[in-house]
Chain A
Amino acid sequence: MQYVDEFRDPELITKASEEIRRLADPKRHYRIMEVCGGHTHAIYRFGLKDILPSNIELIHGPGCPVCVLPMGRIDDGLAIAKAPNTIFAAFGDMMRVPGAHGSPLEHKARGTDVRIVYSPADALELARKYPEKEIIFFAIGFETTAPSTALTLMSAKAEGIHNFSVFCNHVTIVPAIRAILDSPDMRLDGFIGPGHVSTVIGCRPYEWIARNEGKPVVTSGFEPLDLLQSIVMLLRQMQVGEAKVENQYKRVVPWEGNRAALKAMAEVFELRPYFEWRGLGFISQSALRLREKYAAWDAELRYSVPETRVTDPKAAQCGEVLKGVLKPAQCKLFGKECTPEHPIGALMVSSEGSCAAYYNYEYRKSLVTRISSVA
Chain B
Amino acid sequence: MCLAIPGKIVELIAGPNLVGVVEVTGVRRKVQLGLLEDDMPKIGDWVLIHVGFAMSKISERDAAEQMRLLTALGEVEQVMEEVRGYGLEDSTDRAGPVSLNGKHHA
Contacts and interface: CB of A to CB of B under 8 A. Distances in A.
A7 B2 contact: no
Interface of B: 1-4, 16-17, 32, 34-38, 48, 50-53, 55-56, 58-59, 62, 65, 68-69, 72-75, 78, 81-83, 85-88, 91-93, 95
Interface string A102-132: 0000000000001111111110011001000
A154 B49 CA distance: 19
Contacts of B82: 92, 118
A92 B36 CA distance: 25
A258 interface: yes
A222 B37 CA distance: 26
B71 to A, nearest CB: 9
Interface of A: 3, 6-8, 36-38, 41-42, 45-46, 63-66, 91-93, 114-122, 125-126, 129, 141, 144-145, 147-148, 151, 155, 158, 195-196, 199-200, 222-223, 251-252, 258-261, 264, 350-352
The 9 closest A-B pairs by CB, nearest first: A119-B52, A38-B2, A118-B85, A148-B53, A118-B82, A3-B72, A260-B37, A151-B34, A115-B92
A116 B89 CA distance: 11
A265 to B, nearest CB: 10
B51 A118 contact: yes
Given A115-B93, A151-B32, A120 B2 contact: no
A351 B35 contact: no
A196 B55 contact: yes
Given A42-B73, A118-B85, A121-B53, A352 B35 contact: no
Contact of A199 (B32, B55, B92): B55
Contacts of A155: 17
Nearest to B34: A151
Given A260-B36, A352-B2, A116 B50 contact: no
A122 B73 contact: no
26 contacts: A8-B65, A42-B73, A45-B72, A46-B72, A116-B85, A116-B91, A116-B92, A118-B83, A122-B85, A125-B88, A145-B1, A147-B53, A148-B35, A148-B51, A151-B32, A155-B17, A158-B16, A196-B50, A223-B65, A223-B69, A252-B48, A252-B58, A258-B56, A260-B34, A261-B35, A350-B1
A151 B53 contact: yes
B85 A117 contact: yes
Which of B38, B75, B91 has the most chain A CB atoms closer than 10 A to its own CB?
A: B91
Which of A8, A45, A66, A260 has the most chain B CB atoms closer than 10 A to its own CB?
A: A260
A46 B69 CA distance: 10
A5 B78 CA distance: 24
